[in-house]
Amino acid sequence: MKIAIVNDMPLAVESLRRALAFEPAHQIIWVAGDGAEAVQLCAQALPDVLLMDLHMPVMGGVEATRRIMAATPCAIVIVTVDREQNVHRVFEAMGHGALDVVDTPAMGVGDPHDAAAPLLRKIQNIGWLIGQHGARELQTAPVARRDTARWPLIAIGASAGGPAALEVLLKGLPANFPAAIVLVQHVDEVFAAGMAQWLADVSGRAVRLAREGEPPVPGTVLLAGTNHHLRLNRDGTLGYTEDPVNEIYRPSIDVFFDSVTRHWQGDAAGVLLTGMGRDGAQGLKLMRDQGWPTIAQDQQSCAVYGMPKAAAELRAALQVLPLERIAIRLGELYP
């Protein structure tokens, strides 16, 4: 993997170099001291993965992410030393298309292999996404529905660009929207609580992490909150599971959508938003096969047209809509 580093702190750059050295297949092709330099270097030598700091002179990581994703898109991972102080900037960068976020490796404290492991795992996952390996076929028989649920369920999946897209969607829904909403966004569990709070702040809705054993209900938006997969159980409650262990992203959108088709006894709709890779496309197809309305975000409004494109190729989406139209359509479906 060709790796680029954008960071103005020599100690942080050295920590990243040491962490990357544990995987000989990774090659650092350049290091930039600020975002403006990174924009120029990306135009000259595009990396497979770019490790982006947030606070830098001349141009910070949020604006650099926006410009790079507009001109020379690549997989960007935000690397930060203080996630609690940077929550809003992290999700702003992810809204512009950054794929993931990870703490700066604390090399020199404890076992260096353990310190490097989270970063190396993120890069490995991105390598699989770029190569489109490991796609699995989801199959389920049509479910005989009893329609015992008292309200509809909206299942939403998002990845790179997702935070900004989710903000727009949630803001656009009617104030007394009658359906339950469950979100699966690709984000590490250490940032999930911060994302739920951020979404609550920017959308004006009640958003929190989904809890083991609770049912989805209208009035509260539930977000998958761990590195295990979120599932809908047979009794209509939510739960977390380690299986399947071979999924690239945890939590997996496909796993959740699949569980909805198996166990939700009522009306439902599936929505797949911006993101890299194919997660969610096959699950959305299963939801369409059940006769439920399914929506994918269109290319023009996506920060990264990967997952919705895969859904369109599978004919998984009954409708492909601009982001600002998705909330309107959901309001029409469930007035």
Structural domains in the chain, sorted by start? 2-131 (3.40.50.2300), 153-333 (3.40.50.180)
Range list of H helices, 242-299: 253-263, 281-289
End-to-end C-alpha distance for the chain, whole angstroms: 49
Q: In the prediction, which pLDDT does 134 show?
A: 46
Q: In the prediction, which pLDDT does 146 show?
A: 52
Is residue 279 part of the annotated active site? The answer reads yes
Which tokens go with 235?
A: 């009794």
Catalytic residue among 159, 203, 259, 301: 159
Which tokens go with 40?
A: 């120029």
Residue 40: count of CB within 10 angstroms of its CB: 10
pLDDT tens-digit map of 7-34? 999 999 999 999 999 999 999 999 999 9
DSSP-derived letter for residue 122 is: H
Share of the chain above pLDDT 70, in %: 94
Catalytic residue among 26, 186, 228, 229: 186
**CA atoms of 155 and 256, how far apart (whole Å):** 8
Q: Distances from the Cα of 69 to the Cαs of 96, 99, 156, 274, in angstroms?
A: 7, 11, 23, 13
Closest CA to 184 of 96, 75, 93, 258: 258
Bridging pattern class, strands 238-241 and 229-232: antiparallel
Tell the residue number behind the tokens 């009794």, with chain if given.
235
Cis, peptide link before residue 244, omega less than 30° from 0: yes
Residue 75 has pLDDT above 60, yes or no: yes
Is residue 263 part of the annotated active site? The answer reads no
Of 30-39, 146-155, 164-173, the range with the lowest mean pLDDT is: 146-155
Q: In the prediction, which pLDDT does 86 show?
A: 79
Which tokens go with 100?
A: 């993931």
Is residue 159 part of the annotated active site? The answer reads yes
pLDDT tens-digit map of 178-229? 999 999 999 888 889 999 999 999 999 999 999 999 999 999 999 999 989 9
pLDDT-derived band at 88, boundaries 50, 70, 90? confident
pLDDT-derived band at 82, boundaries 50, 70, 90? confident
pLDDT tens-digit map of 254-301? 999 999 999 999 999 999 999 988 999 999 999 999 999 999 999 999
